[in-house]
Amino acid sequence: MRALLLLFLLALPMLTDAQYTQKLPLRQRVEGTWRFRKAGDGGDAYKPVQIPAGVHTALLQNKLIEDPFYRDNEEKLQWIEREDWEFECEFVPEEAVFQRTHVQITFKGIDTYAHIYLNDSLILETDNMFRTWTAEVKKYLKPGKNILHFYFDSPIKKVEPEWKALGYELPGSNAIRTMTRKAQFHYGWDWGPRMVGCGILKVPEICAWDDVLIEDTYVHIESITPERARLIFRVRYRSEISGPVSFVVLDNKRKSIDSRQLRPGVREDSVIYDLKNPKLWWCAGLGEPHLYDFTFQIIKNGRPEDQINLRTGIRTVELVTEKDANGKGESFFFRLNGVPVFAKGANYIPQDIFQERVTGNHYRRIIDDVVTANMNMLRVWGGGIYEEDTFYDLCDAKGILVWQDFMYACAMYPGNGKFLKNAAREALEQIERLRNHPCIALWCGNNENREGWYHWGWQMQFDEGQRTQIWRDYLLLFSDVLQTYVRNFANNVPYWESSPRYGRSNPKSNTEGDSHYWGVWHDEKPFEVYNKEVPRFMSEYGFQSFPEWRSILSFTLPEDRKLDSKVMLAHQKHPRGNALIAEYMKRDYRNPRTFEDFVYVSQVLQAEAMRTGIEAHRRNKPYCMGTLYWQLNDVWPGASWAGRDHEGRWKALHYFVRDAYTPLIALPYMEDDILKVFGVSDLSSDSTVSLRVRALTFSGKILSDVSQPEVKMRPDSSHLLWQGTLKTVLNGGKPDNAVVEIVLTNAVGAVVSRRLWYAVPPRKLNLAQRPGVELRVRQVDDGYELALTTDELCKNVLIYTDIPGFFSHNYFDLLPGERRTVLFKTERILDDPQGAFRVKHLAGATE
């Protein structure tokens, strides 16, 4: 007996240990053998597939279709959207799962209409790719082999009857998309292909648990003072048990314990947690994006029943829309921790039309590129997807504010009860998912739906009753449901009903709200109108160009490499795109010699256009408090407004933006033959800089040279630093043979901003056709250093190579006598480094 007792006592610590971990819910991915087939095809039609996959990538994995991006393959794949598809997984659950009281499977990224069966029992019907679906499966799951089966309805055929039954056609391009809560760009956009697929875009997860499961934890920031931040940890849990437990919050410094009584059912509760001397979260340029790591636990008898780790930041964010003192307009800007932020950034769209191909590496690279380009805000545009957790984690960590649209764009949406319920549930889930991220600065109802309704002639096709109905549906969703949800659940993040507030045809678009200014591009207005059409916050404006030449090579054959070839036209989704690029190019540039040169000039043209806009917006600070150009990136390789192409290669625009977004900058602006230089500071403290404005001929003769040492720049300001007549600046030089260099240096003599300015458009410049450019290559640690010199000014120098890698600088103007070094980052070791690089420049690429 004694011996037995001893044995028992010895075993006790082990038992406790095992029980300790056994208590926690078991969470694991459904790993197994996946296969798929076209519905209706026989059993032997099943093909293996790696999940996550949509039908297109599943077919591609099996080489049953060709690369959808290659040549004009897109067109040949349109049959896919009208078929139903089946996916299936054979898996063996871990034994431990069966020892738990509850077993559930959670599905995310189910695109879109699926019947999901476990061992032939229907466990779920899904109809929204943005939602999370959970099924209790304890009674269907068995030890050994299980079959999880998905039947996907064609997203087109599924909604056709309902679409017809509406009695009218909702406005918007490819508007049948509005019937389905699925990424709207899948149906084709003016920068992307049409790939209406279905599939499993995330691996499902099993969760097995006994007594308590935490469903959601939310850190609500109640108040912040320098001494203390009061946080309220709100938790929603499911419990099978009642009785006393402890709610524990841990950060790396301390632990707080609160006693609570559990009650069975789905319950909400909260604990207060005070953080001493909180370090605030700041966006890039204003400070450190400090983050706190917390663990929240529910502990019973010393053992955690469930626990959640979460990372968050302490900050307040406001959207300030206040009437101007003169009564003429209304502000629109973000205030972070009480400090106004001039937003610098771009509109972000998904990184691939097939989201399942986007990896953590893609996210890290793109957010790094955003940070490198001195941005502090991205707008996640409403025709794409609510981004993945990784995206927001990176934005939190790097201090990138996120303007988050709900996923509605350029259309009117149905308003029936079923649709609204689905939309409301989606909103709530997404708000809950994102509300601990300090990067979220705004929730916006939709992209251009309001603008379309009022200004794109949409109303004309409807009778009075239909108009009333459609608008009522709009208001119900965007002004009522989404707004209420954001107010109640989004952790004090502001809501904005629609972007833009007013369209460009309304003069109010320049005095209040955010604006999408498309007079440049759609209305063919010259780039200079950006200087006049300055809104309070520019949330979209853009100009197209072609992707990097190597990206073009990847989807074409030599015979396709012409502006109007069938293949190139298939990769230009804007009906007037090529004509507009060509028309604008003619205004400012001489004729490109080849198609490759055209592609290069298109990028320089685009970069100049966006720089004109960015500079106008920054100069007009604080009247204008933000500039987000359209668009950061691409979903496939094609002509588009992106500054960074689908392969992640920087176009000229991304290089220009990095310079144009530097926090301290001197900006040239000519008005009535007077060259004005504005100093803009986005910093929150005073700076002292020296300004130098100097004019040179293209062969390097100095025409004028003025310096202003010790210039004070107030924090967060824009003001005139210097001005001179063009005549005195050029001082006898000719405008077609002169460049003005404007340089700001800081107190220790480092260059903080440098801008080269010309008095006439590039086509009028008298550039040397064959400037004596020399390029010397030397191997360095992370690649090759390229040193460039020239004896005559060389405009828009593009260095290129077939070797994969990244050029630290490109598309820059090289002054005579200047020595410029560029780092080419690559992992390759080159046999002939000197012969590996080539240089293109404007005079050589145009006639």
Sites of contact with ligand BMA (CB under 6 A):
189-191, 409-410, 447-448, 516, 540, 630, 641
Residues 6+ apart with CB under 8 A from 737: 697, 698, 765, 766
396 vs 540, beta carbon nearer ligand BMA: 540
Min dist. Cβ of residue 573 to ligand BMA (A): 9
Q: What is the DSSP string of 360-420?
A: HHHHHHHHHHHHHTT--EEEE-TTS-PPPHHHHHHHHHHT-EEEEE-S-BSS----SHHHH
Residues 6+ apart with CB under 8 A from 148: 30, 32, 88, 89, 91, 105, 116, 117, 118, 204
Min dist. Cβ of residue 544 to ligand BMA (A): 8
Min dist. Cβ of residue 383 to ligand BMA (A): 6
Task: Tell me the two tokens of residue 505.
Answer: 């045809």
540 vs 588, beta carbon nearer ligand BMA: 540
Min dist. Cβ of residue 180 to ligand BMA (A): 18
* Residue 387 to residue 378: CA distance in whole angstroms: 12
Min dist. Cβ of residue 495 to ligand BMA (A): 19
Spell out the SS3 assignment of 86-109.
EEEEEECCCHHHHCCCEEEEEECC
383 vs 833, beta carbon nearer ligand BMA: 383
Residue 670's CB: how many other CB atoms inside 10 A?
Answer: 16
247 vs 348, beta carbon nearer ligand BMA: 348
Min dist. Cβ of residue 445 to ligand BMA (A): 14
Q: Where are the beta strands (DSSP E) in 190-262?
A: 192-194, 199-200, 205-209, 212-224, 228-239, 243-250, 255-262
Q: Is 731 in contact with 704 (CB distance < 8 Å)?
A: yes
Instruction: Choose among 742, 741, 739, 743: nearest CA to 758.
Output: 739
447 vs 531, beta carbon nearer ligand BMA: 447
657 vs 744, beta carbon nearer ligand BMA: 657
The C-alpha torsion from 486 through 490 and 496 to 499, rounded to 10°, is -110
Map tokens 């707080």 to a residue.
Answer: 256
* Residue 659 to residue 482: CA distance in whole angstroms: 38
Task: Tell me the two tokens of residue 585.
Answer: 């190019």
85 vs 641, beta carbon nearer ligand BMA: 641
* Residue 118 to residue 151: CA distance in whole angstroms: 12
CB neighbour class for 805 (10 Å; exposed up to 12, middle 13-18, buried from 19): middle
* Residue 547 to residue 69: CA distance in whole angstroms: 14
632 vs 744, beta carbon nearer ligand BMA: 632
Spell out the SS3 assignment of 410-430.
CCCCCCCHHHHHHHHHHHHHH
105 vs 176, beta carbon nearer ligand BMA: 176
* Residue 371 to residue 155: CA distance in whole angstroms: 38
337 vs 506, beta carbon nearer ligand BMA: 506
Min dist. Cβ of residue 170 to ligand BMA (A): 16
Min dist. Cβ of residue 640 to ligand BMA (A): 8
Min dist. Cβ of residue 190 to ligand BMA (A): 5
219 vs 349, beta carbon nearer ligand BMA: 349
| CA triple 82-86-89, angle to 5 deg | 155
Min dist. Cβ of residue 88 to ligand BMA (A): 37
Min dist. Cβ of residue 615 to ligand BMA (A): 21
Min dist. Cβ of residue 192 to ligand BMA (A): 9
Quick check: helix, strand or coil at residue 802? coil
Min dist. Cβ of residue 570 to ligand BMA (A): 17
540 vs 560, beta carbon nearer ligand BMA: 540
Instruction: Choose among 528, 543, 403, 408: nearest CA to 473.
Output: 408
* Residue 301 to residue 245: CA distance in whole angstroms: 7
H or E segment at 681?
strand 674-681
514 vs 615, beta carbon nearer ligand BMA: 514
Min dist. Cβ of residue 438 to ligand BMA (A): 26
Instruction: Choose among 653, 660, 661, 664: nearest CA to 687.
Output: 664
Q: What letter represents residue 699's amino acid?
A: S
Task: Tell me the two tokens of residue 654.
Answer: 């991304």
In whole angstroms, how far apart are CA 538 and each of 384, 509, 606? 20, 10, 17
380 vs 696, beta carbon nearer ligand BMA: 380
133 vs 641, beta carbon nearer ligand BMA: 641
426 vs 514, beta carbon nearer ligand BMA: 514
Min dist. Cβ of residue 466 to ligand BMA (A): 24
Min dist. Cβ of residue 176 to ligand BMA (A): 17
* Residue 805 to residue 87: CA distance in whole angstroms: 38
CB neighbour class for 290 (10 Å; exposed up to 12, middle 13-18, buried from 19): middle
Distance between start and end Cα atoms, the chain: 103
